[in-house]
A and B are shown apart, each in its own frame.
Chain A
């Protein structure tokens, strides 16, 4: 029996989650491209807007952080840091704190308490009013933090984080906290190269998308930040659809074909990943942020442009891509369902 989804269905209906939903289909058809653009550009949608923040905090904050904590508790392999990545983890922590403070100055603040010189270590004060944290720490001194830096800060952001080390002209996924992976496994991929991690994706190798992305990322300069989107469909509002938990969610795919239309619209979600790439300054590592947003079809269909566009893209998607995204079994019904919601004249 499939366990119930861990997130409450009410979360998905909060108005800010609809208004801020990053609808992922700018074009009437979808193909893989190296679709990177400078970060922070605001995108206006028929329902609202998204894109101003690199680290986005919304009304699902508390619930998603609780979910992450529960997953890490069950499966510690979702957090891994190879020994040479410690500086990158401090770097990532500072960067995420600065981004939080930029997105929500009312709730977060990072302050440098003294200057560094001659190889010394500065003290910082970090405030997170949403979680009631007010903490002073010394850069690089692990004893001044309550947890490993990457793990501590990922308990305060909704994004998954992978840190890529660059050496010998190659990027390596050598650290991260990934609890909301869509059909992949960080525990399996850690220590692999960027090119190996993307090994199973059809088409993109032949089309050079990944090698071009790899070259592009390697050219990122300190603090430069770019973003791209990716998408899939998920049954239930379930953030953790990693390979490890397949036995839990795999059966949902055939199951959803058997439910009535009303249930189908409630269960099937369009899932957008907004991915940010940041070249971290002190370590030179690349931080890869993945934020997953989900909108149930019945909400999506209320925005006429979204309904129409999503139906067209899903219906047209080539079979190999549908297969790789894990939606081959129900994509036809998904497209038909969306089409059937067309407003009656």
Chain B
């Protein structure tokens, strides 16, 4: 179990439709720990109202990163299952918080840090994906590094627009339509000095498009960085079975239930945090006699996934082998 910090909601800003900006302070008013630009908090979302289990949702920190007085996050409300949507209900819960409410979270975690050897930083964000890039830009401005930011959002739905303008001035470009972005980016990406690194955050389809364009223009993958924010709901998957070493039972994992949930329901303890395949906590070893694994996490590298001897239990599943059986032998 990772350490948690206690925070209290000190301000709520709902000025942008559908997006809530929260300010979280320490209960005793002390300064909070500094963090790496691009870091996120994982907020504990309690069970309740259409959420059968507690959840943990990751939100990028948008505020000051050095000796901050508070942590700031901006959260897009996604419709939960109870309203016919596919979200887990964490963002709806955040939208129900009020000043004075207590929350718990992990200390800031970094998975999207600026590369210091870069000679220039090109930041490309869409929608709520602007959040980690805002803290990147703040850091670049502070330390006088070369940076520019392109921000795509629907008219009237842009978060942090004034703040970005004030912070970045003419280093910031706002765009309102996807076609305009493609054109703009094609020019920018073709035109960057050697040593520029590209950082992108936004919906998966958007990031795919940015990466595809960069790849086409010859950008090596080592200079392209993605923050897969708000990991979209995974498809429920096919049922499979699992057996834990040292335990004779064969457990069923139905569609819509994760391996992690199935193991927990059977009384096994598996360390976990994000339950979204990003944090790396829930890794389990896979033994011979297992069917192929469908890795759906963002944590393991391709080589490790290929080796097939471990998986992230929160998102990965077994897929039928040649004999039609979908089964895993795991060691906890």
Contacts and interface: CB of A to CB of B under 8 A. Distances in A.
B120 to A, nearest CB: 12
Contacts of A139: 66, 142
A125 to B, nearest CB: 13
A118 interface: yes
Max chain A C-beta neighbours (<10 A), residue from B34, B69, B137:
B34
A119 B138 contact: yes
Max chain B C-beta neighbours (<10 A), residue from A94, A120, A219, A282:
A282
B36 A87 contact: no
A5 interface: no
Contacts of A117: 64
Interface stretch (B8-16, B95-103, B111-119, B245-253): B111-119
Nearest 3 interchain pairs by C-beta: A119-B141, A281-B34, A284-B113
A222 B116 contact: no
A37 to B, nearest CB: 15
Max chain B C-beta neighbours (<10 A), residue from A84, A112, A116, A122:
A116
Given A84-B117, A88-B116, A222 B108 contact: yes
Nearest to B36: A284
Contacts of B34: 94, 222-223, 281-282
A285 B117 CA distance: 12
Contacts of A119: 137-142, 167
A283 interface: yes
Contact of B143 (A115, A140, A223): A140
Interface in B140-183: 140-144, 163, 166-167
Interface residues of A, number: 32
Interface of B: 31, 33-37, 39, 64-67, 69, 107-110, 113-117, 137-144, 163, 166-167, 222, 280, 301
A176 B185 CA distance: 39
Contact of A222 (B110, B142, B163, B222): B110
Nearest to B116: A84
A139 B67 CA distance: 11
Interface string A120-144: 1110000000000000000110000
B32 to A, nearest CB: 10
A85 interface: yes
B69 A282 contact: no
A52 B113 CA distance: 30
Chain B at the A interface: SS class: loop
A284 B110 contact: yes
A116 B107 contact: no
Contacts of B67: 112, 116, 122
A169 B300 CA distance: 12
Max chain A C-beta neighbours (<10 A), residue from B33, B108, B113, B222:
B113
20 contacts: A84-B117, A85-B116, A88-B116, A112-B67, A115-B64, A116-B64, A116-B66, A118-B141, A119-B139, A122-B66, A122-B67, A168-B222, A219-B280, A221-B107, A222-B39, A222-B107, A281-B34, A281-B65, A282-B139, A284-B113
A169 B65 CA distance: 23
Interface string A214-239: 00000101110000000000000000
Nearest to B144: A140
A74 interface: no
Contact of B142 (A112, A115, A121, A166): A121
A273 interface: no
Nearest to A91: B34
B7 to A, nearest CB: 16
A337 B163 CA distance: 70
Nearest to A283: B116
Given A85-B116, A87-B143, A282 B65 contact: yes
Contacts of A112: 31, 67
A118 B108 contact: no
Nearest to A165: B116
A283 B145 CA distance: 13
Contacts of B37: 282
Interface string A279-297: 1011111000000000000
Contacts of B139: 119, 282
B60 to A, nearest CB: 14
Contacts of A122: 66-67
B138 A118 contact: yes
A221 B108 contact: yes
A122 B64 CA distance: 11
Contact of A223 (B31, B107, B138, B140): B107
A139 B39 CA distance: 21
Contact of B33 (A121, A222, A283): A222
Contacts of B33: 222-223, 281
Given A119-B137, A222-B36, 5 more contacts: A84-B117, A85-B116, A116-B67, A119-B141, A165-B116
